[in-house]
Amino acid sequence: GFTAAIDERARAQMIQRAAQSLVPVMVAPRVLLLVISGCEDAESIAAALARLGRAALDADAAACVVYATFPTEPDREVTLEIAAFDSSATMIGARAVFSGTPFVVAALRAQAPHVMVAASFEEALRRALDSAEQVIEPTSLLARSLKRLKR
């Protein structure tokens, strides 16, 4: 009884802390990223995706990347919650690109075939940048010099 109550309280606190760490980040002009890691609670993920939607609207985002990491296949409820962000992004005029660990990619492709799923983070970011018509330029002196030589 008492031990189970303490365990449940500790679990609830752990879920709350994990959910608070799910914060959208602007990775390029008009491109936002949300990494879902350490949290497998559908309600917490829904709240994080709602924060991403608000941030995307405020930033006039053209694209949002949702990258999820799970050590095993996510529950169907969690997968569908993640995929539901596609509709939110569409409503605000942004493209949603989803990716993650192989378990997440497989679950999204099987349970939400209508959403854009990239096999890797790099591919997801490239698709998002393309949607936002953004290009990340090399910043090192060597890279800029090599680029000038190519012209």
Which strands, in side-by-side order, build the sheet including 25-28? 25-28, 31-36, 63-68, 95-100
Q: What is the pLDDT of residues 7-55, one digit of tens each?
A: 766 666 666 666 667 889 999 999 999 999 988 889 999 999 999 999 9
Diameter over CA atoms, the chain: 73
Query: Is 130:105 a contact under the CB 8 Å cutoff?
Result: no
pLDDT at 19: 60
φ and ψ at 73, to 5 degrees?
-60, 130
The yes-or-no verdict on residue 128 having pLDDT over 80 is yes
Q: What is the pLDDT of residue 137?
A: 63
Residue 14 is predicted with a pLDDT of 67
Which neighbouring-strand residues pair with 32? 26, 64
Asked if 35 contacts 121 with a C-beta cutoff of 8 angstroms, the reply is no
pLDDT at 53: 96
- Per 3-state DSSP, the chain is made up of helix, strand and coil in percentages (nearest 5) of 55, 15, 30
- C-alpha–C-alpha distance, residues 137 and 29, integer Å: 13
pLDDT at residue 143, as a whole number:
64
Q: Tell me, what's the pLDDT at 39?
A: 82
Is residue 138 scored above 60 in pLDDT?
A: no
Which residues 6+ apart lie within 8 Å of 7 measured at CB? none
Compute the distance between CA of residue 9 and CA of residue 14 in angstroms, rounded to an integer.
9
What does the pLDDT average to over 130-142? Answer: 72
Q: Please tell me the predicted confidence (pLDDT) of residue 102.
A: 95
Residue 134 above 90 pLDDT?
no
Q: What is the per-residue pLDDT for 11? A: 64
Element (H, E) at 96: strand 95-100
Q: β-pairing, 25-28 with 31-36?
A: antiparallel
Tell me the per-residue pLDDT of 54-111, one tens digit each, with 9 for 90 and over. 999 999 999 999 999 998 999 999 999 999 999 999 999 999 999 999 999 999 999 9
How is residue 101 written in tokens?
């660990």
